[in-house]
Amino acid sequence: MGISRDSRHKRSHTGAKRAQYRKKRKFELGRQAAGTKLGAKRIHEVRVRGGNKKYRAMRLEAGTYSWGSESISRATRIVSVVYNASNNELVRTNTLVKGAIVQIDATPFRQWYENRYAQVLGKKKRQAAEDEAKAAEGDKPRSKRALAKCLARKSTVESAVDDQFVSGRLYAIVTSRPGQSGRCDGYILEGKELDFYLRKIRSKK
Amino acid sequence: MIGFLCPAWSLVTKLADSEYTTDGDPDFESVSHLAISTERSFQKQDAVFLNAKSVSKKNARWHKDIGLGFKTPAEAISGTYIDKKCPFTGNVSIRGRILSGVVKSTKMKRTIIVRREYLHYITKYQRYEKRHKNIAAHLSPAFIGVEVGDIVTVGQCRPLSKTIRFNVIKHQKKQVKGSKRFQKF
């Protein structure tokens, strides 16, 4: 490859140029970046130091995302990359890296929520569903006890997150390293973090 | 009884002595919501989960005791800065050598140069010569008002950058000669 991670080629703290006294060693090696894109899953296995494995994801389309305040995780499809603090190029090319803000499919989370709390997510849909809900409460037959449990659970979803359910796409941040573990997992943005990134995304447009 | 006429003092509001230079300062974001933060990613402590439904305390903050008898500054516990390389509120541990020296320069962002002087013995002449070494050390925002000439204690930590392997853990202001402060030695 030719990529090395040594510091022998760099100038020292005092500014002195260091003379080369040995060749590149294997333990100093670096490999090409993965540059994981969105698409049908393609993962390359790499043998690394010590005989261990790294899973270099070249293309991914889904990952496990957590909804922090509700403490659940679901596997979802990743729709697109929306923001990257380091490089706009990575947004344009839809490259998945740790710390990238992505849009994920909201359906597994909506299904879980509506199962648990028997409330509809998304304001616009709620208004339309209000008329339907009164009539069709028996869309999923629940026993009296299960229904009582459902109604006893109170839950408030932040309005910014609630709005995202209307479009069916949630903003999330990637917290795994796809080029190392082969997975693109993360968590759904909420609260101040969500405000921060929404502002960043809007100012870009 | 002497009637003492107090002239009406006009209320002079002193301009708040806040720093108006943002300089990529992520703390500025927390001062006002309209503040323009120059950081491109959201600054937060990894150890704190901000979105728990049951909010125990607004703006929860994580801090630690670095050990070895060093007191963690009040600013680290009550402040609002985010610094992952801070020994008190970030993800670095202090282990190995503890050194001290004089602050030589504070021009870098969150890091300082510490000058350590020592005497080197020349055996032939049975005399000493002065030598010095400069150490680059990370300066946490917990330490405010660090100036050139102050005495600083630095502790060894893992490499934080090309030249930084130390982190400031204690700070003592320079004693101005003739000041009435009692210097405990």
Quote the CA–CA distance of A183 and B134 in Å, as a whole number.
44
Cβ atoms of B128 and B94 within 8 Å: the answer is: no
Q: Which residues contact A95 (CB under 8 A, 6 or more apart)?
A: A35, A36, A37, A81, A84, A89
Q: Compare CB distances from A99 to B29, B41, B51 and report the shortest one's residue.
A: B41
What is the pTM (predicted TM-score) of this model? 0.79
Tens-of-pLDDT digits for all 205 residues of chain A? 589 999 999 999 999 999 999 999 999 999 999 999 999 999 999 999 999 999 999 999 999 999 998 899 999 999 999 999 999 999 999 999 999 999 999 999 999 998 888 788 877 655 665 655 544 454 556 677 777 777 777 778 888 898 899 999 999 999 999 999 999 999 999 988 999 999 999 988 7
**ipTM score of complex:** 0.81
Interface test with chain B among A91, A192, A197, by most B beta carbons within 10 Å? A192
Residues of chain B positioned with their CB less than 8 A from the CB of A197: 42
- Chain segment B91-145, per-residue pLDDT in tens: 999 999 999 999 999 999 999 999 999 999 999 999 999 999 999 999 999 999 9
Q: CA nearest B52 in A: which residue?
A: A69
Q: Which residues contact A203 (CB under 8 A, 6 or more apart)?
A: none
Three-state secondary structure call for residue A88: helix
Q: What is the token pair recorded at A194?
A: 């969500």
Cβ of B136 and A13 within 8 Å?
Answer: yes
Q: How far is A135 from chain B (nearest CA, A)?
A: 32
Q: CA nearest B163 in A: which residue?
A: A13
How many CB atoms sit inside 10 A of residue B165's CB?
A: 18
Name residue B156's beta-bridge partners: B166
Q: What is the token pair recorded at A193?
A: 């973090």
Q: Does B49 touch chain A (CB under 8 A)?
A: yes
Q: What is the token pair recorded at B151?
A: 């005495």
